[in-house]
Structure 1
């Protein structure tokens, strides 16, 4: 167990050093965090208090609605891109074979590869919520932090399924997964990040109801904007739990098979 935590810390420390070695990139990253909040705050002023019915059931104003969407959709972007970007970086540096040839278990490698980005994304979301409350006067039910964390665990595990599959694609084909961009844009468009999925035509809502993003954001909004009890978000939570229980083990198995195939073909050192 201690050895596992040591490996996780080494991965984290490596990524931390790498981040601060590019100071300008870090500054631009921090500035970029604020731009969406400012843009959507002023857009919300155009809507005013005349929220459409689909938004009104979550919030009286548009800004708190979109704040939750922007903030927590970052976990999807993290889940979709973090592992695959880490794998691709190891490929380009020629260290992927060495990393995957160690006796470290696949789940430990996966977790260690994304822990830094997970912490960074969590800090980003905390900053969004903090600024939303303090600077933009968004009404957030902070008393619902415990059920929100429960919801968050299965939200992240659901989103991680797509990232593991994307990383598996990169290991086998040595290039970015073209499907990942499609999945990301589909989830953002139909998952209710910027507007309620209920506004979409009925035949498109079918797509929304297949996406973990839809249930994650609906549950988060009911908890943080309406102060809902956990019993009220059970349908959303159950969907995320089932999605994680079914597809997370499958995605890890596919990742293992991809690594085994690359080892057998001798292509781990190729990029």
Structure 2
């Protein structure tokens, strides 16, 4: 209970910072609309050709593209969060203080995660609402809500686990500036092989197996089947993808927690987790 209270206090700090400096929130909304809008127009240009490869999703490339881009942006923000949090606390000389408290760095990261999750969810809902009701992006009239929530939550947990693995490299590899290599690699592979921007069917057959090693593939495929085709638990692909994502989420979170804890212990036994003056 005290851990959650501590975590929510960090989330509240992020909320207060946004209230005092709302420009970043406004710019984040604009950025999300701009990114989604850019790919929306690209999808309109490619629609006639790409629709032929999307019979599973009703042959609608515009909906396929917009939904993929919106959910991927959210996942990318969650995955980058742990490293960004540690990086900010380290250079602000707060990390040593957090680590010496009763709940260590974990309450700080958890609080930041809670805030980022809600923050990104609001932006995501806003963009999707605009895309559906203003732009006219097609979704099924009867979206199965429970499968959609399940896919979304598993996707978030997987990205959080990957983010924790990446954050451990702040100390393990001494990556204290720039982009961290693990999440960078996951991000690049996802952009190329998970079908965010184009159907997986256009990839050469010999490398399509790479797509099945990336959890984003199962998440985006499942979310699109639910939102565009209206498939629920009765669909075999939906059930299988959810099961695979459950396994991914457990493995990524366990590995993330273990690697991050070991990295903190290693740093603490060395020069400490703060800046050595």
TM (norm. structure 2) is 0.90
Structure 1 Cα separation of the partners of residues 182 and 254 of structure 2: 20
Matched, 1:153 2:159: no
Q: How does 1:102-251 map to 2 (within 5 A)?
A: 102-104=101-103, 108-141=107-140, 143-172=143-172, 173-175=174-176, 176-232=179-235, 233-251=238-256
1:159·1:212 contact (CA, 8 Å) conserved in 2? no
The equivalent of 1:101 in structure 2 is: 100
1:171·1:258 contact (CA, 8 Å) conserved in 2? yes
Tell me how far 1:109 sits from its aligned partner.
4.2
Tell me how far 1:26 sits from its aligned partner.
3.2
Which whole-Å deviations, capped at 9, do the CAs of 1:186-236 have from their partners, x for residues lacking one?
A: 112211111122221122211111000000000000000000121320111
Structure 2 Cα separation of the partners of residues 265 and 37 of structure 1: 45
Residue ranges of structure 1 left out of the alignment (5+ in a row): none
Match among 242, 253, 257 for residue 258 of structure 2: 253
**CA gap 1:96/1:105 in 2 versus in 1, 3 angstroms:** closer
Which whole-Å deviations, capped at 9, do the CAs of 1:134-178 have from their partners, x for residues lacking one?
A: 111122235312210012221111122210011111133151423
Which whole-Å deviations, capped at 9, do the CAs of 1:230-253 have from their partners, x for residues lacking one?
A: 132011111111112223212201
Which whole-Å deviations, capped at 9, do the CAs of 1:69-93 have from their partners, x for residues lacking one?
A: 0111123212320111011000010
2:51·2:60 contact (CA, 8 Å) conserved in 1? no
Structure 2 Cα separation of the partners of residues 95 and 128 of structure 1: 35
Matched, 1:11 2:10: yes
Deviates more, 1:137-146 or 1:198-207: 137-146
Matched, 1:266 2:265: no
Number of equivalent positions: 270
TM (norm. structure 1) is 0.91
Tell me how far 1:48 sits from its aligned partner.
4.3
**CA gap 1:59/1:170 in 2 versus in 1, 3 angstroms:** farther
**CA gap 1:219/1:43 in 2 versus in 1, 3 angstroms:** same
Structure 1 Cα separation of the partners of residues 135 and 175 of structure 2: 44
Structure 2 Cα separation of the partners of residues 104 and 65 of structure 1: 42
